[in-house]
Amino acid sequence: MNRKTLLNQLKSLLESETNFITNMANTAAFLKQEHGYFWVGFYSVIKDELLLGPFQGPIACTRINKGKGVCGKTWETMDSYLVPDVDKFPGHIACNSFSRSEVVVPLVYKGKCIGVLDADSDKLDDFTAADVTYLQDVVEILINSSEIIE
């Protein structure tokens, strides 16, 4: 299925619900189901840490500090990261040793990073720039469909 169709499906999936945690949960399930990512899920900014949120895949690290790992860097810089080889990313946090490449995109709401979406593959160099754009679109749909409590 093409990406545009998938994004429309996600919009339909989320349109009847506004709870942010519920929508993160179904978004993670949708991404796992449609793309078979090794691990896919969310970390939310809670106080001064990223805290593990809804995800699909193996057990993961629960707390990440700002600037640490790919997720903490994404939070700090509010940029998306495409990491073709996790072993070459300084400070990469290996929650699971099978993870070889990953994409992390920030969840930005009213100019602030409120969390990140992380997709991991067990294959090297498994993501393209088009995947980053797609996951950014996924995050935009999620934020626009949800009530964010500040």
Residues that bind ligand SME (CB under 6 A): 39, 60-61, 64, 69-72, 92-93, 95, 99, 102, 118, 120
H helical segments located in 1-80: 3-14, 20-35, 69-77
**Cβ distance to ligand SME smaller for residue 80 or 99:** 99
Q: Give residue number: closest CB to ligand SME.
A: 69
**Cβ distance to ligand SME smaller for residue 122 or 137:** 122
Structure token pair of residue 150: 């500040």
Q: At which residue do the structure tokens 């991991």 appear? A: 120
Q: Which amino acid is at 106?
A: P
**Cβ distance to ligand SME smaller for residue 6 or 60:** 60
Q: Which residues are paired to 4 by β-bridges?
A: none
Q: Smallest gap, in angstroms, from Cβ of residue 31 to ligand SME?
A: 13
Q: At which residue do the structure tokens 């930005």 appear? A: 108
